[in-house]
Amino acid sequence: MRHDKIGSVMTTDVVRAEYGTPFKEVARLLAEHRISGLPVVDEDDKVIGVLSETDLLAHTASTPDPYEPDHHTRFTGLIPGARRRAAKKARTAGGLMTVPAVTVHADDTLVQATRTMAQRHVDRLPVLDEEDRLVGIVTRGDLLKVFLRPDEDIRREVIDEVLVRSLWLAPRSVEVSVTEGVVTLTGSMERKSETVIAVSMTRRLDGVVDVVSHLTHRLDDARLRPDDRAPHGVAEDWLRRL
């Protein structure tokens, strides 16, 4: 089943900092390149942390202004004590960065990257090669490009990969239509488990926004023995994961 890899959408010209990069240089890099964060690497291009505008603001907020009344410095209360004390003393990327860095590999799928971003609440991910060296960066905007995939391409993959190759069905046994990334499946299948697999596999295809199922089944095999319940091959493996 086709899944685009992160390497196909990532930015390879990565703005980065090193452990000893001064605070002011980091701020200049963010402003000059109009980005909100960047990875911090060691001498071997291994990612040791990430640095964002939030990290820089934490430093600024933790540094008291002798001419400003105390009741105006409320932002520092949002930063944990230990982090605030560290940020106050930090003057380089290594002291300001967030560790450990959340990263992905270039051969991971876009689905995996999207799931990682959502679970870890980050907007960008440094991308590593097979030796864990920095080779790119992927953002939320990059991942959204997958939804520009033409409807006809999605429809053809549903038929070829889900219905024919995985479920061993005739190409026209189920009607497949796609509108603006929303896939509609209509038809009758032999087993209930097949309808579950068809919907689940389709939902995971690149570019699919949602799946509308009008599938019916002749046999409810939910209570049958596992050996009698699912189709063989790829679909059988898929059912085990549901």
pLDDT digits (tens, 9 = 90+) for 151-169: 999 999 999 999 999 999 9
pTM of the predicted model as reported, rounded to 2 decimal places: 0.66
As a whole number of angstroms, the distance between CA 159 and CA 167 comes to: 10
Summarised one tens digit per residue, pLDDT across range 197-207 is: 999 999 989 88
Cis geometry, peptide bond prior to residue 100 (ω within 30 degrees of 0): yes
As a whole number of angstroms, the distance between CA 70 and CA 77 comes to: 12
Residues 6+ away with beta carbon under 8 Å from 118: none
Widest CA span in the chain: 78
* Residue 108: pLDDT over 80: yes
- 225 versus 217: the higher-pLDDT residue is 217
pLDDT for 73:
41
Summarised one tens digit per residue, pLDDT across range 44-72 is: 999 999 999 988 887 666 555 554 554 44
> Quick one: fold of 6-146?
CBS-domain (3.10.580)
DSSP string covering 5-34: BGGGTSBSS---EETT-BHHHHHHHHHHTT
- Beginning with the edge strand found earlier in the chain, give each strand of the sheet holding 47-52 in spatial order: 17-18, 37-41, 47-52
134 phi, psi to nearest 5 deg? -70, 125
CATH of 149-241, one of 3.30.1340.30, 3.40.50.10490, 3.40.50.920, 2.40.50.100: 3.30.1340.30
What is the chain's mean pLDDT, rounded? 84
* Residue 112: pLDDT over 90: no
Q: So where are the chain's domains?
A: 6-146, 149-241
Residues 6+ away with beta carbon under 8 Å from 66: none
pLDDT for 242:
55
As a whole number of angstroms, the distance between CA 236 and CA 226 comes to: 10
